[in-house]
Amino acid sequence: MNMLGHLSFGVKDLRRMAEFYDAVLAPLGYVRVWNSEHGAGFAEPGKADKLNLFPRRDASPPGAGFHLAFNAPSRAAVDAFYAAALHAGATDNGPPGLRLNYSPTYYAAFVIDPEGYRIEAVHQSR
């Protein structure tokens, strides 16, 4: 059982942010599983949503202590996530690489999405 059912972000520009997450989640194997003028949901193909975006004029990302890490199937997927994110308008917050302070197998990349949410892709080989 997964600890979290899903996570929702309020976003100011739903269309732009849904397209951003289409681009950055694709290398990780995640897709948009539902879409309407009221929001968008992302997950593994055929699965229930895990990340939802909802339009809100008053949207504001949480403070510096928050970030969301997406599991990546490989180090190459982490690299592709990072490249796609920067191409789609994210800000670098830590390029792909091993994070030995976390563990000897923790390979991750960190970005800040166009609306200020801190996100990460991580692959931990066993």
Which pLDDT does position 1 carry in this prediction?
Answer: 65
| Pick from 111, 113, 115: nearest CA to 96 | 111
Evaluate whether residue 2 is within a structural domain: no
Domain span at residue 95?
A: 7-124
Q: State the CATH number of the domain containing residue 19.
A: 3.10.180.10
End-to-end CA distance of the chain: 20
Half-sphere exposure of 43 (CA within 13 A, CB side): 17
Whether 44 maps to a domain, the answer reads yes
Helices (H), the chain: 14-25, 75-87
- Token pair in block for residue 32: 């948009």
Token pair belonging to 28:
């990780």
Q: How many domains does the chain have?
A: 1
The reported pTM is: 0.95
Residue 125: per-residue pLDDT: 84
Is 21 contained in some domain?
A: yes
Of 78, 83, 73, 75, the closest CA to residue 109 belongs to 78
- pLDDT at res. 117: 96
Per-residue pLDDT of the chain (126 residues; tens, 9 = 90+): 678 899 999 999 999 999 999 999 999 999 999 999 999 999 999 999 999 999 999 999 998 889 999 999 999 999 999 999 999 999 999 999 999 999 999 999 999 999 999 999 999 987
Cα 19 from Cα 33, distance rounded (Å): 13
Chain-centroid distance, C-alpha 106: 17
